[in-house]
Amino acid sequence: MSETRVFLLPDLGEGLTEAELVSWHVAVGDEISVDQPIAEVETAKSTVEVPSPYAGIVAELHGQPGETLDVGKPLISVTPVSVAGTAADDAAPAEPAGPVVEPAETELGEPAAEPAKAHPEAEAYREEEKAGSGNVLIGYGTPGGHGVARRTRARRSSVALAEPVDTKPAETPTEDDLTLLRTRVPGRLGAVISPLVRRMAREHGVDLGELPGSGEGGLIMRRDVEKAIHAPVVEPAETKPVETKTAEPAAAPEGVDARTGLPIAARTPVRGVRKAVAANMARSRSEIPEATVWVDVDATGLLELREGLKAGGSSVPGLLAFIARFVTAGLKKYPELNTRIETASDGSQEIVSFDGVNLGIAAQTDRGLVVPSVRAAEKLTSRELDAEIRRLTDVARQGKATPTELGSGTFTLNNYGVFGVDGSAAIINHPEVAILGVGRIIDKPWVVNGELAVRKVTELTLTFDHRVCDGGTAAGFLRFVADAIENPTTLLADL
Say if residue 114 is in the same domain as residue 83. yes
Say if residue 282 is in the same domain as residue 212. no
Mean pLDDT of 100-113: 43
pLDDT band at 45 (very low <50, low <70, confident <90, very high): low
- Looking at residue 249, what DSSP letter applies? G
Say if residue 388 is in the same domain as residue 329. yes
Share of the chain above pLDDT 90, in %: 39
What integer pLDDT is reported at residue 140 of this predicted model? 41
pLDDT band at 72 (very low <50, low <70, confident <90, very high): confident
Q: What is the pTM of this model?
A: 0.55
What integer pLDDT is reported at residue 377 of this predicted model? 97
pLDDT band at 82 (very low <50, low <70, confident <90, very high): low
Cα separation, 339 vs 432, in Å, equals 7
Positive or negative, the CA dihedral 426, 430, 433, 437 is: negative
Residue of 375 and 404 predicted with greater confidence: 375
Residue of 44 and 411 predicted with greater confidence: 411
Q: Is residue 495 part of a domain?
A: no
CB 101 within 8 A of CB 175: yes
What integer pLDDT is reported at residue 184 of this predicted model? 42
Say if residue 99 is in the same domain as residue 225. no
Say if residue 177 is in the same domain as residue 200. no
Asked if the model's pLDDT at residue 306 lies above 80, the reply is yes
Residue of 96 and 488 predicted with greater confidence: 488
Most confident of 62-76, 129-143, 368-382: 368-382
What integer pLDDT is reported at residue 254 of this predicted model? 62
Asked if the model's pLDDT at residue 378 lies above 60, the reply is yes
Lowest mean pLDDT among 296-305, 418-427, 474-483: 418-427
Say if residue 424 is in the same domain as residue 440. yes
CATH classification at residue 339: 3.30.559.10
CB 372 within 8 A of CB 392: yes
Asked if the model's pLDDT at residue 66 lies above 90, the reply is no
Q: How many CB atoms lie within 10 A of CB 345?
A: 15
Say if residue 332 is in the same domain as residue 408. yes
Asked if the model's pLDDT at residue 160 lies above 60, the reply is no
Asked if the model's pLDDT at residue 489 lies above 60, the reply is yes
* φ and ψ at residue 294, rounded to 5 degrees: -150, 165
- Looking at residue 181, what DSSP letter applies? T
Residue of 141 and 357 predicted with greater confidence: 357
Asked if the model's pLDDT at residue 299 lies above 50, the reply is yes
Q: Is residue 207 part of a domain?
A: yes
Say if residue 247 is in the same domain as residue 289. no
Q: Is residue 93 part of a domain?
A: yes
CB 90 within 8 A of CB 72: no
CATH classification at residue 223: 4.10.320.10
Say if residue 38 is in the same domain as residue 172. yes
Q: Is residue 11 part of a domain?
A: yes
Q: Is residue 222 part of a domain?
A: yes
pLDDT band at 201 (very low <50, low <70, confident <90, very high): confident
- Structural domain range at position 104: 5-184
Asked if the model's pLDDT at residue 394 lies above 60, the reply is yes
Say if residue 325 is in the same domain as residue 457. yes
Asked if the model's pLDDT at residue 401 lies above 50, the reply is yes
Lowest mean pLDDT among 62-66, 181-185, 246-250: 181-185
Residue of 158 and 63 predicted with greater confidence: 63
Question: How many separate domains does the chain show?
Answer: 4
Share of the chain above pLDDT 70, in %: 68
What integer pLDDT is reported at residue 373 of this predicted model? 96
Q: Which helix (H) or strand (E) holds 328?
A: helix 319-333
Mean pLDDT estimate for the chain: 76
For the chain, the C-alpha Rg in angstroms (whole number) is 27
Residue 344 exposure: Cα atoms within 13 Å on the Cβ side = 10
Q: Is residue 461 part of a domain?
A: yes
Q: Is residue 459 part of a domain?
A: yes
Q: Is residue 379 part of a domain?
A: yes
Q: Which helix (H) or strand (E) holds 475?
A: helix 471-486
pLDDT band at 85 (very low <50, low <70, confident <90, very high): very low
Asked if the model's pLDDT at residue 328 lies above 60, the reply is yes
One-letter amino acid at 344 equals A
CATH classification at residue 110: 2.40.50.100
Asked if the model's pLDDT at residue 244 lies above 80, the reply is no
Catalytic residue flag (residue 466): yes
Give the β-pairing of 359-361 and 411-415: parallel
What integer pLDDT is reported at residue 477 of this predicted model? 98
Comparing C-alpha atoms, which of 142, 139, 116 is closest to residue 403? 139
Say if residue 17 is in the same domain as residue 110. yes
Asked if the model's pLDDT at residue 189 lies above 80, the reply is no
The helix/strand/coil state of 378 is: helix
Cα separation, 62 vs 228, in Å, equals 35
* pLDDT tens figures, 260-276: 989 999 888 888 777 87
* pLDDT tens figures, 3-38: 889 999 887 655 567 788 888 999 999 999 988 999
Query: Catalytic pick from 25, 119, 430, 466?
Result: 466
Give the β-pairing of 74-79 and 47-51: unpaired
Residue after which a domain boundary falls, among 143, 165, 184: 184
Say if residue 149 is in the same domain as residue 225. no
What integer pLDDT is reported at residue 146 of this predicted model? 40
Residue of 367 and 262 predicted with greater confidence: 262
Burial, 235: exposed, middle or buried (Cβ in 10 Å; 0-12, 13-18, 19+)?
A: exposed
CB 396 within 8 A of CB 345: no
What integer pLDDT is reported at residue 400 of this predicted model? 87
What integer pLDDT is reported at residue 16 of this predicted model? 64
